[in-house]
Every structure is written in C-alpha cells, then in structure tokens.
Amino acid sequence: MKRKGGRRDEILQIARTLFAEKGFEAASIREIGDAAGILSGSLYYHFATKDDMLDELVRPFVLPLLKHYEEIAHSDADAPDRLRDMINFGLQNLVQKPDLLKIVANDRKFFAKSERFNYVEEAWQDIFQIWYGVLQDGARQGEFRNDLNLHITLRMIIELLNGTVDWFRPDGRFTIEQVIETQVALLFGGLTPR
C-alpha cells in the first residue's frame, strides 16, 4: 500500500533530472515519458499537468531552504560566523540536491512570470533579505568593512553561490570543501596579501 506511489515517484525523479539539465520549459513531456519508458500521454495518469510535476518537486525544497537560512541567521553567533555558516550550508546543499538548486536558480525568470510559482521568487527575496541582514550586522559591529555598498556586495555573494551551481561537479577536480574554503577565504580576505 505504501508502494502505490513508487512508479509515480520514479517519474518525478526523472522529471527532476531533465528539468535541471535543460530547464523546465525546454524539457518536454515526451522526453520525460521516453526516459520513463512510457508514452507522454500516460504521464497524465499520474499528474494533472506539467506544472504540477514542477510544483511537487520545488515546493518541498524551497520552503525548508528558506527556513534553514533563517535559523542560521538568527543564531547568536557573530556576523562572520553566521556568514560562513550560510555559505557552508548553501554549498553543501548544492552537493546534496544539485538538481533542485539548479532548477530554482536557473529558471528564476520562469518562476517570476508565473503566478502559480511566485512563491519561489518570493522565497529568493526573503533569502536575500536574510543575507543582507547578516552583512548589515557585520558592518555595524565593525566585523566587516564599512566602506562597501552592501546591496552590491550582497548581489556579488548571491551570484557567487548560485553561479557555482553551473560548474561544480561532485566527481570533478575539486571537492566541495575546497570550493567552500576558497570562496570563504577570498570573500573574507580578498586577493591582496595581508
């Protein structure tokens, strides 16, 4: 009885892979069907629409993501430690759920223009606010430099993390730990030797 949704879940995971690879709109239901060994029309026995498949994948990913960032940001560590923790979490999350992060990061235009998926863009905005708060705290406490435009700095950090989605491969030359170390070192210390 628990196994009833087994096939359904298999299809959903196949869709996840294709959405991440080609983008949601570019991935066709015929490709999903082919990969699942099924006719495209038969997908509609399991799911009402293509959008439903996306929603079922993305919703349970985005909301906990936001919640986790909130938890880190509201801990009582100092701003540099919280920033480190957020970078660490963001990149570890990339390794654990690369497909979902790719979808959510690369299809932002689609989510933003779709009423149904507005919550994804809203979650991004919330996450940005959380990062911004940490930057602001650090600048006020003198833990970060106060001569930087924080909005631009925030954009830079976000691009940095979301951009990593498109080149990092777990089986590649670098471990995620190396990437985290380099990104934290560069972000905190800069290129110039001290």
> Which two structure tokens, joined as six digits, stand for 125?
């905005």
Taking CB under 8 A as the criterion, the residue among 48, 167, 169, 171 binding its own copies is 167
CB of 108 to its own copies, least distance (A): 9
CB of 158 to its own copies, least distance (A): 8
> Which two structure tokens, joined as six digits, stand for 176?
């995620």
* Residue 192 interacting with its own copies (CB under 8 A): yes
147 interface partner picked from its own copies, DNA, none, CB below 5 to 8 A per type: its own copies
Distance CA 80, CA 171 (A): 30
51 interface partner picked from its own copies, DNA, none, CB below 5 to 8 A per type: DNA
Q: Where are the alpha helices (DSSP H) in the chain?
A: 6-22, 29-36, 43-46, 50-73, 79-96, 98-106, 108-113, 118-141, 150-164, 176-189
- Rounded to a whole number of angstroms, the distance between the first and last alpha carbons of the chain is 63
Taking CB under 8 A as the criterion, the residue among 5, 116, 145, 170 binding its own copies is 145
CB of 58 to DNA, least distance (A): 15
Taking CB under 8 A as the criterion, the residue among 7, 125, 155, 170 binding its own copies is 155
DSSP 24: T
Residue 11 or 83 having the CB closest to DNA: 11
CB of 64 to its own copies, least distance (A): 25
Distance CA 108, CA 124 (A): 9
